[in-house]
Structure 1
């Protein structure tokens, strides 16, 4: 009797494992059927669980050696809301140091956050090309060695395009070109944070 109970239990476990595997089956299996992988559904048409629609990644920004020295990071969490729509949030931090004798020794800490939306506009003509819009809030802190300190923030809407080269269903290389609608040549803060109204990013998610 005990052997029969063990056999029934093993059968139930195997059945549940197969059912779970069918539910979370990677859509890239569709390639065996000659079709592109779905981003939000299993090959059987079931919605993918929330966790399998998430993408994690980011990029490196403000990278300069020498004088000034600058280095930053920008983590990203994105969600595949539909087959063509991606929404996400991101953060950024950049450290910049100007040194003597060419500059007054000064340290800049720039950090911020952003929310973004990407929509694949014409997949039948140019796949993986997204309309991109976001709101970014940036704060910069300036400290002169042995002298004054300064802190200010700026919120900017940015619009443009992102081309994403998929590496897998949940990861890709993204080249983004944006225009800052809030940029003003007469604003010293905008020039310090952005340099110019165009923002170019290389990110991975």
Structure 2
């Protein structure tokens, strides 16, 4: 009797369970449609930054930090220029200068000038004096641009007085070649060529130019050899 009752119950359970098993099998073998809809993610390998790629940036930062940490005395430059010309035209020029490194590439400074000038041709025998302010910008270590304003007290003949004195102002701009020499205060030797934009106006009452600095005396080009 018990076996007759048990067999129908087992058959009923088998009928109820079989649809769910078939559904699970269908789901197991069904293609993954969701994966097709989503784009496949590609793994991007990390880019390794080589030390040589970072070197220029790090070197520039270190150079800037070193400059900012410089003491005041280490930014100071001392030097000047001098020249001697003897003969029909005598020109003895001493011009001390002092500069300060405003940035890695820019130096600002001042200078003084004392000059003994004698010309048999022009009939001049006098001492000139004055000062200057300048900015010197390093384009590359060997080449720099320089801007300068010089005020010089010179002799100038007037209709009222012979050998009168007057101040002349020379705004100048030029380029220079630098040769490092590695001194503490004198960093380099500079060969400079500057153009005097006010040269044509530096004349006495008779139209004679009174600026003694022009190249070959009578030209607006000024050539200097400067230590700074």
TM-score by length of structure 1 reads: 0.65
TM-score by length of structure 2 reads: 0.59
Bigger strand fraction: 1
The 5 Å alignment of 1:1-205 reads 42=66, 47-61=69-83, 63-98=84-119, 104=123, 106-121=124-139, 123=140, 127-141=141-155, 148-168=162-182, 170=185, 171-184=187-200, 187-188=203-204, 191-193=209-211, 194=214, 195-205=218-228
Gap runs ≥5 in structure 1: 1-34
How many residue pairs are counted as aligned between the two chains? 157
Q: Distance in 2 between matches of 1:184 and 1:92?
A: 21
Gap runs ≥5 in structure 2: 1-58
Q: Verify the 8 A CA contact 2:168 2:202 in the aligned structure 1.
A: no
SS in 2 for 1:179: strand
SS in 1 for 2:69: coil
Distance 1:165 1:85, change over 3 A: same
Deviation of 1:67 (Å): 3.2
The structure having more radius of gyration, on CA atoms, is 2
Alignment RMSD: 3.1
Deviation of 1:73 (Å): 0.4
Bigger helix fraction: 2
Deviation of 1:180 (Å): 0.9
